[in-house]
A and B are shown apart, each in its own frame.
Chain A
């Protein structure tokens, strides 16, 4: 009996020693990993601050002003002025012409039918409009709007 207890406790000591050493090594490995990650974060932060500085430098007002002037024909950017403000009722909304005016007979058409409790649309949106001619290719082959 006593021998068994001795053997068990020795085994327990050995096992605990393994566990303790294992934990110690694990901790140290984790610490190294944390340190590496922190260094990594530090580098990334430095890169980030460098990029931020570069972004600020590339977006400096002087450069943007020059770019806007260089690309004026393309973009037509001008300084914001009081003329650019408008009342909402000054905004030109697309003309709302009723479908009846277009001569499309809505009354005689069933726009939807119910089949087995499912409503199916019979009407394709835009069907009532006059067909638009497809854009013709220009002489040099370029598509005109």
Chain B
């Protein structure tokens, strides 16, 4: 038998030509083999080698063919772990690790009309399962020739079973992850909300719409973090208490909106931030297209609402005056009228007599007193001071709404602006700006950066704004506003609240100010002798019948609400009530400020 690769047989010749040996031949001459035998052996070896090569190449060829014909897939071990385990988007928790936002698996419903057995019956069946669906419309769509329709983004297991029972092969279910906010409207403005981005029948991408969900969109969706939750600085129970008290206060005062911010005075962490009216982020409403943007439930009054914050600004003028050494707490300030600056009169709520001490200017809230102090300071230094407190730029807090909320600062700064800004008119800022400035001024005198994230380590102190002594003096003055001044209703047994009221007329859209609409603010710190937290409460258009007449000033509206908030949250924050009379002395304030 001839092998297919064997060559035609040639006449054998002896391949070994004898040569003259150059070395001594072996003693016995080798037996010369039969040339025929040698030839056959050589041939066998060549065939064997050839077979080996053919076999090797055909194995390689077969493997190459198999690789090119088969579908590529990655090796299973190790690579699979990430896919099934880590959910698409990380949770958001409060500072104690309680869940504020998480994901649950859900089901989406879609239709492929070309696979349907009976489109009309399918449409009717869907209409019976989902009350909002119109049978006729969908029957028309199913027969229109389109091959794909999304029907519902999220359906409940009961609805899924009902659709399944219709027995229609053209109705199909897609897997989804759904963003859930288990606490409902709690901290809605901070969390914002989420919606589906790119969607496919197998999965859908969740995108943040507002609040921290939008700012940390990439961060929450980053698979490299393996689903580690985002820890906010909010405290769930404190947030609940603040929202409850604020809501009942808003009802009681007949206000149309309210906001509150509770900030750690040392670290700038926002422990609670509330804005009312609010919404449910599970079912985020549409943005109001008509009416005032400021009345939209989606509008975060605490961050986006820039208001003239009134007399709460007085402490800045006074603190700067103390810092510059122009006055001390006992310096007598001329509060006599009339006072005209650039032809504009500056009035007081009532006449406070010819002069008041600096402390009493704050306690009695004298516009003329602070205006005169501000005029002594001068426009340039006043602007620099307010800028160092952060009033000229949006707050750096991690919310999508924050960069858009730029304070409204006068473009020109004549003497009248210097005078009015000293008592909080002519410069509009958000309650968060005010809280940050109060924390910076009263928490120890260094600049505080507000944040919504829980800090792992205490931050480096910011640039110094006022000396610790001035910070202590300012707190002592604010404490006296509560003990014997305009904010007397803010007294909370054991917690020594210190703070300043502010009542500002609302600007009317047609120009000028309303006579009967105000924004009232209370900005305070507690405990005043050893500041732990800064609280800002703002009410929009409050009015209450008290002591026989309708009252709109902050002392009657924002202050009692703030006091109730402190009464409820201070124990929750783990603050021990302090009934020691010695803590009221200025020495205690100074000791905490200078760290002795």
Contact = CB atoms under 8 A, between A and B. Distances in A.
Interface residues of B, dominant DSSP = mixed
Given A79-B568, A85-B577, A53 B104 contact: yes
A38 B83 CA distance: 9
Contacts of A38: 80-81, 84-85
A80 B571 contact: yes
A34 B77 contact: yes
B237 A45 contact: no
A46 interface: yes
A105 to B, nearest CB: 48
Contacts of A49: 87, 91, 102-104
A109 interface: no
Interface stretch (B50-58, B179-187, B467-475): B179-187
Given A38-B81, A49-B104, A56-B183, A79 B99 contact: no
A22 interface: no
Interface in A43-61: 43, 45-46, 49-50, 52-53, 55-57, 59-61
A66 interface: no
A59 B98 CA distance: 10
Interface residues on B, range: 35 or more
Interface string A68-103: 000000000001111011000000000000000000
Nearest to B239: A61
Nearest to B80: A38
A45 B571 contact: no
B459 interface: no
Interface string B34-77: 00000000000000000000000000000000000000000011
Contacts of A65: 240, 244
A41 interface: yes
Contact of B85 (A42, A53, A57, A85): A42
A50 B104 contact: yes
A81 B577 CA distance: 9
B567 A82 contact: yes
A52 B99 contact: yes
A127 interface: no
B288 interface: no
Given A79-B241, A82-B571, A62 B102 contact: no
A35 interface: yes
Contacts of B492: 82
Contacts of B182: 53, 56-57, 60
B184 A31 contact: no
A42 B227 CA distance: 13
Interface string B387-398: 000000000000
A123 interface: no
Contact of B236 (A45, A61, A82): A61
B556 interface: no
Contacts of B572: 80
A48 to B, nearest CB: 10
Nearest to A60: B183
A53 B180 contact: yes
Contact of A46 (B87, B99, B241): B87
A100 B98 CA distance: 55
Contacts, number: 84
B461 interface: no
Nearest to A79: B568
B146 interface: no
A110 to B, nearest CB: 50
B87 A34 contact: no
A53 B495 contact: no
B85 A31 contact: no
Contacts of B80: 34-35, 38
Given A46-B105, A56-B99, A81 B567 contact: yes
Contacts of A39: 84
B495 A56 contact: no
Interface string B351-378: 0000000000000000000000000000
Interface in B152-184: 180, 182-184
A35 B76 contact: yes
Nearest to B572: A80
A71 to B, nearest CB: 18
Contacts of B183: 56, 60-62
Contacts of B237: 61
Contacts of A61: 183, 186, 236-237, 240
B570 interface: yes
B455 interface: no
A41 B85 contact: yes
B140 interface: no
B387 to A, nearest CB: 39
Interface in B521-578: 567-568, 570-572, 576-577
B337 interface: no
B493 interface: yes
B494 interface: yes
Interface string A26-39: 00000100110011
A50 B104 CA distance: 5
Given A42-B84, A46-B87, A79-B241, A34 B76 contact: yes
Contacts of B567: 81-82
Contacts of B571: 80-82, 84-85
Contacts of A41: 84-85
- A31, A34, A80 — most chain B CB neighbours (10 Å): A80
A82 B577 contact: yes
Contacts of A31: 76-77
Given A49-B103, A60-B182, 5 more contacts: A38-B81, A38-B85, A50-B105, A61-B186, A61-B240
Interface of B: 76-77, 80-81, 83-87, 91, 98-99, 102-105, 180, 182-184, 186, 236-237, 240-241, 244, 492-495, 567-568, 570-572, 576-577
13 contacts: A42-B83, A43-B84, A45-B85, A49-B104, A52-B91, A53-B99, A53-B104, A53-B180, A56-B98, A60-B184, A61-B240, A81-B571, A84-B571
Interface of A: 31, 34-35, 38-39, 41-43, 45-46, 49-50, 52-53, 55-57, 59-62, 65, 79-82, 84-85
Closest 7 CB pairs of A and B: A42-B84, A56-B182, A61-B240, A56-B99, A82-B577, A57-B182, A80-B571
